[in-house]
A and B are shown apart, each in its own frame.
Chain A
Amino acid sequence: MNMLFDRLFGSGRHTITVDGDFFAGTAAVADAEAVIIGTRNKAAIGSGLALKVAAAILAAVREDDSLSRPPRTIVFLVDTQGQELSRHEELLGLNGYFAHVARCCDLARRHGHRLVTVVHGEAVSGGFLAFGLMADRVCALPDAQVRVMDLRAMSKVTKIPYDRLVVLAEESPVFAPGAENFWRMGAVHELWSAEDDWNSCLASAVFHAGSEDGRALLGLERGGRMLAAAITGLVAGS
């Protein structure tokens, strides 16, 4: 993890504690201290991990509030294979734990914290909804894998031949895996390359993070999501 932290924040400019699939701490981003919250090892997100993420967000809000200092940027470093699949988690109501994380993100945003996600591994389905997609700005590293379902599984469920899905995936970003597809649809704001200076990329992402949800318009601009903005406007009467 240290190699990634060094590249994102600069060598010796981060204090992050790793605890199993979870890590948290602080680091320098754009010459200011930022709060870092992350998952690794393609973590399956269950109630325990969701509570750790939520607790770290609440702690950041509480700390900045009590010291009356400007709210720090919160950086989510995301690597998740999706939600934990188990009867126990369903009994607890994992969806409610994910909703709680979303509320904490929303609270931080309202308190003036900027929320930036960097996908450094996988970002899949419900895990991504809980951890990552609620940020103001979402960035993906070159090897990031963003998806809901791979095409073979989708073929099984929808009964559409796999080969046909492969062909259709060339024409439309709407169902096939890939950070590039999420970029075209406006949900991933930035794709970073291996050659980029990730440290300055991150500083720029923080600078550009706005608190309004502009993803539908971005998807329209990039030609990947042609209807969402118009239909939303039609129903909203705006």
Chain B
Amino acid sequence: MNVKPTCYFEASARTRIAKLVDPDSFSELCPPHLRHSSPHLARLNAPVAFDDGVMVGRALLAGHPVLIAGQEGKFNGGAVGEVHGAKLCGLLERALSERPAAVLLLVDSGGVRLHEANAGLIAISELMRAVLRTEEAGIPVFALIGGSCGAFGGMGIVTLLCTEVVISEQGRIGLSGPEVIETVKGVDEFDSRDRALVWRITGGKLRRVLGDATRLVDDDIASFRAATAELLGKHAERRLPASDLAALTEEHEQLSARARRYDTARDGRIVFEEAGFTELESVALMPVDDFNRHLEGTP
């Protein structure tokens, strides 16, 4: 078989889902022909989408039953509004009764949708609780990140609540986007057009070194699939460890140590250096496999 790899970054959310899961296994919940689009966008005279920019459903991945959601970054920057957020919350609620091997969130979002900002903010806080409740029930939640909008704003928080975070080099995670910081604080604080700098602050490799992402993969859907399948296998073997007082105390110490270690840092350069990547230029160019080998210390 000679299958051309499909770029994850460029693909639509529908294509990502179709090619990520086992062939023809995706069945959509709340599909577009039900026309649950946003009445709030319509009231503001803005274009609407039949699925409100997110599709949710069930599928198989390497034979594992999963619930899956894909945000469409090209529709309003994947931003979360009332309907969009409720679909994600509903999917996580379904997980409690259906008990899939995992819930997969293909995050591609700048965060809250400003046209319905209050509804979006509330939905994200509901989503945060829903992710935690799903994990508490022993069902892992994975975030997959490699789209043009990355995972920002509230979706950046939701992503860091996930059990596993699979990211490509082009994927980005953060809270406030570089453009927002530049607008409010000035170009000296963050030059959002300096792409190399943005990459060294938010990019997939930096997030992997810091441990916010748990897998770094190439920017093609097959690589995302392979990593997800591997993680599904891993989680099938052992139950999710409880997020108890001891675990959170340890997490607290790690985050405190990170804040102390990089207490004045404003550039990812130092993070790469301390991880043993001595030549910064070579990190950017280093193939993902080599990068992972170096980071995980395997020969």
Distance (Å) between the CB of A159 and the closest chain B CB? 9
Q: Are B82 and A187 in contact (CB under 8 A)?
A: no
Distance (Å) between the CB of A80 and the closest chain B CB? 13
Binds A, one of B2-10, B15-23, B88-96: B88-96
Report the nearest B residue to A171, measured CB to CB.
Answer: B43
Q: Which residues from B are CB-within-8-Å of A87?
A: 181, 189-190, 201, 266-267
Interface 0/1 of B232-263, CB less than 8 Å to A: 00000000000111001101100110110010
Q: Are A125 and B128 in contact (CB under 8 A)?
A: no
Count, chain B residues at interface, CB 8 A = 85
Report the nearest A residue to B39, measured CB to CB.
Answer: A227
Instruction: Given A91-B262, A91-B267, A103-B132, check contact A175 B185 (CB 8 Å).
Output: no
Instruction: Given A103-B161, A134-B125, check contact A232 B255 (CB 8 Å).
Output: no
Q: Which residues from B are CB-within-8-Å of A54?
A: 252
User: Is A110 among interface residues, defined by CB-CB distance under 8 A?
Assistant: yes
User: Is B278 among interface residues, defined by CB-CB distance under 8 A?
Assistant: no
Binds B, one of A24-32, A71-79, A92-100: A92-100
User: Is A18 among interface residues, defined by CB-CB distance under 8 A?
Assistant: no
Q: Are B266 and A88 in contact (CB under 8 A)?
A: yes
Q: Which residues from A are CB-within-8-Å of B36?
A: 227, 231, 234
| Distance in angstroms between the alpha carbons of A232 and B126 in the assembled complex | 11
Q: Which residues of A in the span 223-237 have a Cβ within 8 Å of any Cβ on B?
A: 225, 227-237
Q: Which residues from A are CB-within-8-Å of B112?
A: 125, 148
| Distance in angstroms between the alpha carbons of A160 and B206 in the assembled complex | 37
User: Is A107 among interface residues, defined by CB-CB distance under 8 A?
Assistant: yes
Q: Which residues of B in the span 250-297 have a Cβ within 8 Å of any Cβ on A?
A: 251-252, 255-256, 258-259, 262, 264-268, 271
Q: Are A160 and B181 in contact (CB under 8 A)?
A: no
Q: Are B251 and A148 in contact (CB under 8 A)?
A: no
Q: Are A216 and B126 in contact (CB under 8 A)?
A: yes
Q: Which residues from B are CB-within-8-Å of A125?
A: 112, 121
Binds B, one of A3-11, A55-63, A189-197, A199-207: A55-63
Distance (Å) between the CB of A222 and the closest chain B CB? 12
Interface 0/1 of B162-179, CB less than 8 Å to A: 000000000001111010
Distance (Å) between the CB of B284 and the closest chain A CB? 16
Q: Which of B30, B207, B248 contacts A234 (CB 8 A)?
A: B30
Instruction: Given A83-B176, A86-B185, A96-B255, check contact A213 B129 (CB 8 Å).
Output: yes
User: Is A2 among interface residues, defined by CB-CB distance under 8 A?
Assistant: no
Count, chain A residues at interface, CB 8 A = 76
Q: Which residues from A are CB-within-8-Å of B258?
A: 92-93
User: Is B11 among interface residues, defined by CB-CB distance under 8 A?
Assistant: no
Not counting A87-B190, A171-B43, A228-B126, a sample of 17 additional A-B residue pairs whose C-beta atoms are within 8 angstroms of each other reads A58-B245, A87-B267, A91-B201, A94-B174, A95-B157, A95-B159, A99-B159, A100-B252, A126-B157, A130-B157, A168-B43, A213-B129, A225-B82, A231-B87, A234-B30, A235-B29, A238-B97
Instruction: Please give the residue numbers on chain A whose beta carbons come within 8 Å of chain B beta carbons, in ascending order.
Output: 47-48, 51, 54-55, 58, 61-62, 65, 83, 85-100, 102-104, 106-107, 110-111, 125-126, 128-130, 133-134, 147-149, 154, 157-158, 160, 168, 171-176, 181-182, 185-187, 213, 215-216, 219, 225, 227-238
Instruction: Please give the residue numbers on chain B whose beta carbons come within 8 Å of chain A beta carbons, in ascending order.
Output: 29-30, 36, 39-40, 43-46, 56, 82-83, 85-87, 89-91, 93-94, 97-98, 112, 114-126, 128-130, 132, 136, 151, 153-154, 156-161, 173-176, 178, 180-181, 184-185, 189-190, 201-202, 206-207, 210, 212, 243-245, 248-249, 251-252, 255-256, 258-259, 262, 264-268, 271
**Can you list 28 A-B contacts (CB < 8 A)?**
A55-B252, A58-B245, A85-B185, A85-B189, A86-B185, A88-B262, A88-B265, A90-B178, A91-B267, A92-B259, A99-B161, A103-B161, A107-B243, A107-B248, A125-B121, A126-B153, A126-B154, A171-B43, A174-B117, A175-B116, A185-B122, A186-B122, A187-B118, A215-B126, A231-B36, A231-B90, A235-B56, A237-B98
